[in-house]
Amino acid sequence: MEKEYNNNITKSGEKPDPALLAVDGLLLEMGRNGTGNDSDFLREVMAAVRKEDNEKHHVFTIFRIVASLAAMLAVVSGVIFMFYGRIPSGTVDDKDKMPCILVCSPGGLIKSGNKEEAIINGMSLKTDDTVHIFKSRSAFVQFSCRASMEVGSGSIIQFNDIHTITDKRQKLSGTGISLKDGVIQADISGLKDGDAFTVATAQGVFMTQKSSFILVETPEVCFVEVNNGSVRFRDENGLLSVINAGQSKVIHGVNTSGLAAGTIDSAEVINEYKNRLTLQSRDIEELLLQLSKKKKADICLREVISKRDVSL
């Protein structure tokens, strides 16, 4: 039914008189039901009220049953616990299973979303995080039991695709990073079929399932040196090449022959960047040991440490 005024304003632009609105309400109600009771309305309200009351009673009864069952379960669990004498093992928080970054000496930034902060040892890495390691500093990333990576000083890496990895008994999924500038030395122990460790560069994508390799990426040079296993490289045109153990390849760079003085030499650049990988095995073990002493050390981390014969 039309009301000639809508909320606060009348059609003439004036505010309605509250007393007239009150009379309006009375007339509307009388127009519907005269002066007698609105029995339909009363019936509806009482039916709704009874239904509400019954549901409340049922909910309360169900709650009582559930509470009793929960109490019984607690008693039974307690008995089992007492009998077996140990608490069943729980799982570590998900964030502790994410790859973590460790810095040998302070000096790096991590950009996560819009937030930029200094890298703290043991920080978890998430997809789309970008890490910038300052010059003369060094860092190490532990992805899982099967993948780790030293990040050379001055490097910038974006973690495109990180999946939660638990331990080798669980399904392992891939990791993808983008090397923007700098050098990495990666050690990939052997991923399952269909999984791969990938590194994207300006020239194309490197992929491996089992290898250890060094990758240099600068505006002038892209270079890979494979120490163990094999690395596949697919360039922007889709052309595939395979670099095996003991081999290296300059994907992009300046030819060293016939260079004028002052021109950048690929070999020089490659060597300079490789020299930025400064972490020794002992340094990495110490970093991992420090991390393992944190409260919720990852199960995978313990395996890594034990493999390196570092005592906990």
Partner 1 sequence: MNDKEAKLTKFEVLLNRDHKKILAFAFSLVSDVHQARDIAQEAMITAFKKLEEYDESKDFGKWVRGIVRMKYLEHFRHNREIPMSEEIIELIDSNYARWDAAENDAVSGESLFQVLNECVGKLNDEQRVVMDKFYYQRQKTGEIAKSENLNEATIRKRLERVRFMLKDCIDKNLSAQ
Residue numbers at the binding site for partner 1 (CB under 8 A): 1-4, 6-8, 11-12, 15-16, 18-35, 37-38, 41-42, 44-46, 48-50, 52-53, 57
Read off φ and ψ for residue 59, nearest 5 degrees: -60, -40
**Residue whose CB is less far from partner 1, 46 or 118:** 46
Write b or e for each residue in 294-303: b if 16 or more Cβ atoms lie within 10 A of its Cβ, otherwise e. eeebbbbbee
Minimum CB distance to partner 1, residue 59 (Å): 13
Spatial CA neighbour of 230 closest among 249, 216, 217: 249
C-beta of 32 vs 171, nearer to partner 1: 32
Closer to partner 1 at the Cβ: 34 or 246?
34
Task: Provide the minimum distance between the beta carbon of 65 and partner 1 in the complex, in angstroms, as a whole number.
Answer: 20
In terms of CB distance, is 53 or 117 closer to partner 1?
Answer: 53
To partner 1, the closest distance from the beta carbon of 27 in angstroms equals 5
Question: Which is nearest to 158 in space by CA: 120, 195, 184, 122?
Answer: 184
User: In terms of Cα–Cα distance, which of 124, 178, 184 is closest to 154?
Assistant: 184
Min dist CB 186 to partner 1, Å, is 54
- Residue 44 C-beta: closest distance to partner 1, Å: 7
- Rounded Cα gap, residues 273 and 217, in angstroms: 9
Nearer to partner 1, 23 or 240 (CB): 23
- What's the Rg (C-alpha) of the chain? 34
For residues 150 and 152, what is the distance between their CA atoms, to the nearest angstrom? 6
